[in-house]
Each structure stands twice: as structure tokens, then as C-alpha cells.
Structure 1
Amino acid sequence: MNPETFLDALSGIALTPDAIQVLPDARAYRDCLLARIAAAERRIVIVALYLQQDEAGQAVLDALYRAKAARPALDITVVVDWFRARRGLLGAGRQPGNAAWYQAQRQLQGLDVPIYGVPVQTRELFGVLHLKGSIIDDCVLYTGASLNNVYLHHFDRYRLDRYHVFQSPALADAMAGLVQRLLHPVATPRLDLPEPPATGSLRSDIRRLRARLRRLVYEAVPSRPGQGMRVVPLLGVGRGNTLNRTVCALLAVAQQRIVICTPYFNPPRAVMREIDQALARGVEVELIVGDRTANDFYIAPGEPFSASGALPYLYEDNLRAFARRRHVCLASGQLQIRIWNDPGHTFHAKGMWVDQRYSLLTGNNLNPRGFNLDLENGLLIDDPQQQWLAPREAELAALRRFAPAIGSADELGVKADHPKPVRKLLRRLRYSRLEPLIKRVL
């Protein structure tokens, strides 16, 4: 099937332009989320990689318990990654994890607000729950952000993401329905109840769950392409999934311009191949990538170093190599690379814009891990009549605000300037021939 036919055949839901709102920043998203929870009448489905035990996480959990107390018939479901909830923060030593907090809060509140843990693989390294999109009544809040202080800009620091609000009963039903079909009485245990099972006892059930995940699809109400705006919900887990195929098809159909946004520059071979073919066709390609200091794994000089602190430098090395190999396109302006950096803050925005028709919202980092290991999803906005250009361009302008374009790969520095612990670790990886393997799980 050629890319155009593939995209047209995707099952979508008809929308009007005023059914989509783009929120400007993390604070606006936080305020919207809390207000929607407070006003919920029928259902709340919160899906995130994690709901963190901090001030912002407490505000969200308190809002859910208040809503349940005010309307006992309200159906509330919270879904987070199983592994992430049962461990502490990276580099912070042994901690009980958020699950212990969920249990304490349930005992304190005395109300039933179920929090489920989803193990996508038998080990966190090989796959996590990376679904995005929370449903409140007939509204979908779609963002790549998790729920903690920095993602919700609770104090001074923020982590930039993308924030969209869809008012669509059909989309809300499709996304809520998938979450309910995702949950399993054994393989996705409650984390808010005492003594959740050990991961080892779930291994067989987790393998069966992952096999079932590969067959899951959104049950969307189809609308014909070319008949106005539509939104296409996409699911992806494992190789060759619908989301991956859609990403590649979008790149393949581009005729004028592609914009790609990712905090972690480590494209899979399929994506790299489509980018190069687009450049060969004369398509303009723009990348918006976070500066290494805007990476959430960045460790400032003088702070205790851990292995995860080398990741921002590895991503920067990837980008430098990419820019050098395509220096002709970069020099001519056909390829534009923008480096986002608002000092003190971090960057987490992902997605794609193709020509003036397609906009892809996704939590997928467009890297090998997102393509092969994690459970991902996305919302494709198909706008054949260009009815939604103004909000689309306004969002792009905001993303470019702190992202000046570089003129050459030399502006990204050289490996010799990396801190000594980073150089030492990356050299070990290269000499041990583990670097290709490491890149597949990052």
C-alpha cells in the first residue's frame, strides 16, 4: 500500500476546528486539568507515565479524591507505568516509589480511586507504558507530560511539552474504551491497594498482556478523508505497528515541509531514511531539538555524576553527526536545525508537522525505543482544507521562541569538550561495542 492510500485508509473521527484548543504552557495545562477534574460529571481517566509524590502530584490526587467525595457515582480510573511507580527517582538511591504513597493516600481518604500499574514488559528497560491522553467526560487532554512539579510548572522550573484539548465524545469514548480493554485482572494490578504482587509472579501474565497489546486498536468512528478535518487515534507497540507506519508514511508524502520535534535525537533507521529521501525530493526539513542542558537527564558540573548523565551528550553527538553528513542541505537552508534552550528549564515536546495538512501529536520520542519497545500512542490531525492553520502555526511559533537555528555542526561543539566522566563512559561503550545496543533502548 502506498503512503497516500495508507493515510487515507486510517479510521478517523470528524472534527470542527473549534473542537481543538492548544494550551500555551504547562501552567495553563495544570489549571485546565484541575478545573476539568473538579467539574467532571461521569468519568475521569488519567493516563500518565507517572503520578509523582510531590506538591503537583498531591494537588492532582487531592482533586481526584475531592471529585469522588462530591459525586460518589463518578467513575475514576488512573493508569500509570507499573515499574515507574514501584521505584524511586533515578540516581536518588533506594526509595519505596510512588506506590507506597498511593496506598497511604487511599487509607487516609477512605475512598475508592483506583490506580492501576501497567507493566508493558517483564523489565522496565525493555518497555514502559508511554500512552498519553486523559479523558474527562467528553473531553480529551492530550500531552506528553507526566504529573509532577516540573511538568506542571508548580514552582519556578518547567518542562516544556505540547498541550491540546479535544472536545469530542467519539474521541473520548475511543480512548477511554482502549484503556478499559488494556486493563487485566492479573497483569495490571492495583497500586493503591496494600501488598501489590511482586513483578516476578506476574511474568507469564505480562508476556500474555504484551501479546494482547499488539492486537489492540482504537475503535474509532470512521470519517472519509477529504471531507473536512478529522483526528485519527493511533496505537503502537512493537515493530511495524500502526503508529510507526503512520510516522513513516507522513514523511514519505511530504512535498513542501516537514517539522520534527523531539527532546532526544536518536532517530530509528526508518525515520532517518525517510528524512534523507525527503531532502532528496527537495522538501524543507526543520528539526527542533532540546539543548543538552535542557535535557531532563542533564547533570550540571559539580553535581554527583551518574551514568544517565551521559545521555544528553550522546544525543548531542548523534545530532552533530547528522548535521555534518548533511552539511550541504544545512548550508543551503533546506535543512534547519533549531536548538531549544530556556536556561533553567527543560524540553520534552514531541511531534511532527507535514506540509499544511498533517499534525501529529504523540509522546513517542521518534527513537528506537519508542518504535520497538514502549507502548505508545498518537493523535493525527488531518486537515485537508487547511481550516486549522492559525492555531497550528501559533504553536510552532511558540516552540521556536527559545530555539534559534544553528548554521553548522560546529556550533554543537566537539566531543573533546565533554566532561571527563562523560568522555570516559562513552569511550567504554564504543570500545565494548555496546553503543549500538544502548541506542536501541534509549
Structure 2
Amino acid sequence: MSSRPPLPQRLARRLLPFSRSRKQPAQEMPAFAVRPEDIQTLDGPASFRSALLTLIKQARRRIVLVALYLQDDDAGREVLEALAAAHKANPTLDIEVYVDWHRARRGLIGKAASEGNAAMYREYATQHGDAVKVYGVPVQNRELFGVLHLKGFVIDDDVLYSGASINDVYLVKHGRYRLDRYHRIHHAGLADSMVRFAKHHLAESEAVTRLDQRPLPSTRDLQAPIRHLRRTLQHAHYTTPHAALKEGDVAVTPLVGFGRSANQLNDALLMLLRSAQKRVVIFTPYFNLPRQVRAVLGHLLGRGCVIDIMVGDKTANDFYIPPEEPFRKIGLLPYLYENNLRRFARNHRAHMLRGQLNLWLWRDGGNSYHLKGLLIDDEMALITGNNLNPRAWALDLENGLLLRDPSHRLTAQHEAEWAALRRHATRLDDYHALDNPRHYPADVRTLLRRLRRVRLDRLLNRLL
């Protein structure tokens, strides 16, 4: 008989409140000193795709791409073709791609069963040999319990950072796009640190397997190595110096977070929020804030801080299904997130009425919204792939870059990004501006009632 505790108990262990840990002030955190002219905010997915392909073509020493997935579609194949061409032009070029193990071995949700993106990786390996090494990283035994959600593309000494993965919609290959944030940082030390983390903590793990080669082990065969990898990642961090800042320099600290306790990224995120004096801007694609974040926001509102939160309209959610199309259960998610936002807006109605809390809904035609991160006053920013939800907080392997800008050299970039985003966003006057659940499609109302009857909606919010 198995000695493992039952599934509900294992879920509870991973999702219960977190232990307290000392919060290190941003000014004391190790950081790379980066000149502001070496930090660039790209203006959209087309610029991101162009920068990625250009950097790949110009690469001389190394390319390390880390993302949730590299999709078997036109954009994914375009990137793989570019990587193979770069290696052919320069056979000494070291090229590694890290993606989530579970996500790479299944088809898309709602589509027919398939071997997933791994079949494409093997196809390219057959054509191009060992030019591009693709690794599958299983941070948990099941995708439900967490995935590789690290982000960051390192090409020579450039770091191209976004919450985006690689597929047609993220790279706006056919007109439709999924909007994220996009930054390019040129700094050899930062690039070295991110590459070192991938090679040491991921590639050297027995749990991490080449997806472009056969035979692939089963996840069951990897359970012991996965447990070891999980323990290692809970204490992993980027190698970062305490560099002295010159006048005008920006301090950049790479952060990693995994697990519900001693999570460096979570601690830094809460520290940033608590340090806010006047203004906070939050980007999140799925409104499902962890309890600790909601509590800090309440304290900030109580002492007069102005908070802007931008989320996607439910129709700009990846899983939204128009009412005229056949409903699938996955289509419930946008309505769950809208319900969370409606409750939050109702609870803070007074702050909204006096303009201290501004909730923004982003929508641009049939495109979708995937932004994450923070802007704090005029000095600090967090660019990250972390969705600011309980799943990111406790289950997924996440990272981010903390930017501390005491000379305010990046303020113009941040303000330009914020202004561009508001062009497709509407500020909510009141929670009544959001759809009432009584007006949801019939299938959605029925499923919501069933979930609430057994309180499964609360568990879903913990896992989503």
C-alpha cells in the first residue's frame, strides 16, 4: 500500500498559508549595476518577435531560451528554423531551450490528443542533429501541481525578458496577438547569471530530460529525481553581486521563487508593495490575487496610496468562449476571474469613488491580455512572468527582474508603457460596470452554482 498522503492532503500542504521570513529591503539586496541606456522597453509583440529573431541571427557564443513552451505552429517553427540557421552559420554556437516537461508532451486543451510539441522537437533534431538541445523540466509530478514558469531569453550578453512564451499569438504571427510586457537588457553579468542558473539547476538535474531525443522516460520513472529537483529549487537563487551604483545606474536583481515558504520572489514582491509611498501600478492577466497581496493593498489604501490595477476584460482572456460557440468547461475561467474582480471592487467601492483605487479593463478586439508586474512610485519596478495568483505564489517555478532606479532614469519608459496600455483600457467607475453573474450564459450560471454548492470554486481559485 502506498505511504503517500491522499490528494486533498497533498494539495493542502502546498496551498496553506506560508511561513514568515525576513523581508530584505530593496536597497540591501544584491544587484547588477546597469546603465539606463542598456535597458529598453519594447513597444509590443511585433517588436519582441523582431528583436528575438535579430538577436538569434547575430548570436556568436550562446543562446539559452527559457519559457513555458515553444509551440508547434508557424511562429514556433520560425524560431526553431532561426536557431538551426544560426548554428549552421556558426557551429560553435551553444543553443539550449528549456520548456515545461508536461506542457511539451500534451496537445492543446480542447484539442485532439497528440504527442505535443515534443514531436516537433524530435523532427528538427532528425533534420539538424544536435544543433538545438531542447530540455523538458518537470518541477512537479503533475501539471496540475505546477509548471516551469521561468522566463528569459539570453543571447550572448543580451537578456530579452517577457512573460510571453513562443507561439503564433504571442509573436503576432498572423495578426492576432496576446499582449505581454517586453524588455531588453544588455549586461554580461546578468546574462551570465541567468545562463548559470539554467545550466546548474536545470540541465544538470536527473529529472530534466532532452525532449528532442528518444526514448522519453515516463513521468512516473522520474518521480524520485523530481522530488530532488523540487527540494533543490526551493533553495536556488541567481548568483548576484553587491555592485556599487554609479550616478544614474539602475540596480537589477534577478529573483527566483518556488514553493510556499522562503520564496525569494514572493518576499520581494510583498516588500515592494509595503515600501510604496504614493503610487502602485499592478499588471495581472487573471484577477485572483493571493491573500497576502490583498491584505497589503488594503493597508496601502488605508494610508492613502493610489493604486492602479490593470487586468484583461473577460473577453480578452485566453480561455474565453463567445456565447455563440459551443461551451466547454474551461470557458468558465474568465467568469471566475471577473467574479473575483467584482467582489474586490465592491469591497473597495469607496476608494474607487474617490479615485484612490483605479481598476482598468483592457480590451482590443479579439486580442488577449497577458501582462504581469509592478511599478512602485518612480523608483522601483518588477518585470516578471508571475501571474500574481495563488498558483504562481505556491506551485509554479517563477522568476523576475527587480529594477531599482534611484535616479529615475527609467521613469519616462515606464510612463510611456503605461500610457500606451491605457489606450485600450477602460477605467471602472463602480463594480456595477461589470456584468452581474445573473446575466451570464446559462451554461456558465449552471456550472457556477454547482461549484459553489460544494465550495469547489474556492479550490479552483487556489489552483488557477
TM-score bracket for the superposition, by shorter chain length: over 0.9
> Which residue does 2:65 correspond to in 1?
46
Instruction: Report whether the alignment pairs 1:116 with 2:138.
Output: no
Tell me how far apart the structure 1 counterparts of residues 323 and 123 of structure 2 sit (CA, whole Å): 37
**Residue 262 of structure 1: how far off its partner (Å):** 0.6
Alignment of 1:70-85 (within 5 A): 70-85=89-104
| Residue pair 2:280, 2:306 contacting (<8 A) in 1 also | yes
Judging changes above 3 Å, is the alpha-carbon distance between structure 1 residues 94 and 380 closer, same or farther for their aligned structure 2 residues?
Answer: same
Tell me how far apart the structure 2 counterparts of residues 91 and 305 of structure 1 sit (CA, whole Å): 11
Corresponding residue SS for 2:25: helix
TM-score after normalising by structure 1: 0.98
Corresponding residue SS for 1:286: strand
**Residue 346 of structure 1: how far off its partner (Å):** 0.3
Which of 189, 195, 210 is residue 215 of structure 2 equivalent to? Answer: 195
Tell me how far apart the structure 2 counterparts of residues 190 and 110 of structure 1 sit (CA, whole Å): 13
> Which residue does 2:225 correspond to in 1?
205
* Unmatched runs of 5 consecutive residues or more in structure 2: 1-20
Which of 305, 327, 330 is residue 283 of structure 1 equivalent to? Answer: 305
| Residue pair 1:133, 1:142 contacting (<8 A) in 2 also | yes
Tell me how far apart the structure 2 counterparts of residues 188 and 265 of structure 1 sit (CA, whole Å): 32
Which of 282, 289, 296 is residue 267 of structure 1 equivalent to? Answer: 289
Instruction: Report whether the alignment pairs 1:421 with 2:443.
Output: yes
Instruction: Report whether the alignment pairs 1:239 with 2:260.
Output: yes
| Residue pair 1:68, 1:111 contacting (<8 A) in 2 also | no
> Which residue does 2:280 correspond to in 1?
258
Instruction: Report whether the alignment pairs 1:173 with 2:192.
Output: yes
Alignment of 1:19-418 (within 5 A): 19-183=38-202, 184-224=204-244, 228-240=249-261, 241-418=263-440
Corresponding residue SS for 2:427: coil
TM-score after normalising by structure 2: 0.93
| Residue pair 1:226, 1:384 contacting (<8 A) in 2 also | no
Tell me how far apart the structure 2 counterparts of residues 373 and 421 of structure 1 sit (CA, whole Å): 30
Over aligned residues, Cα RMSD in angstroms?
A: 1.3
Corresponding residue SS for 1:289: strand
Runs of 4+ aligned residues of structure 1 deviating over 6 Å after TM superposition are none
Tell me how far apart the structure 1 counterparts of residues 328 and 265 of structure 2 sit (CA, whole Å): 33
Between stretches 367-376 and 102-111, larger displacement belongs to 102-111
> Could you tell me the percent identity over the aligned residues?
49
**Residue 182 of structure 1: how far off its partner (Å):** 2.0
Tell me how far apart the structure 2 counterparts of residues 2 and 256 of structure 1 sit (CA, whole Å): 24
Tell me how far apart the structure 2 counterparts of residues 371 and 219 of structure 1 sit (CA, whole Å): 22
| Residue pair 1:48, 1:146 contacting (<8 A) in 2 also | yes
**Residue 110 of structure 1: how far off its partner (Å):** 2.9
Number of aligned residue pairs = 441
- CA shift digits 1:235-274 (9 cap, x unpaired): 0001130100111111101110000001100000000000
**Residue 226 of structure 1: how far off its partner (Å):** 9.0
Tell me how far apart the structure 2 counterparts of residues 71 and 182 of structure 1 sit (CA, whole Å): 27
| Residue pair 2:251, 2:404 contacting (<8 A) in 1 also | yes
| Residue pair 2:205, 2:229 contacting (<8 A) in 1 also | no
> Which residue does 1:11 correspond to in 2?
30
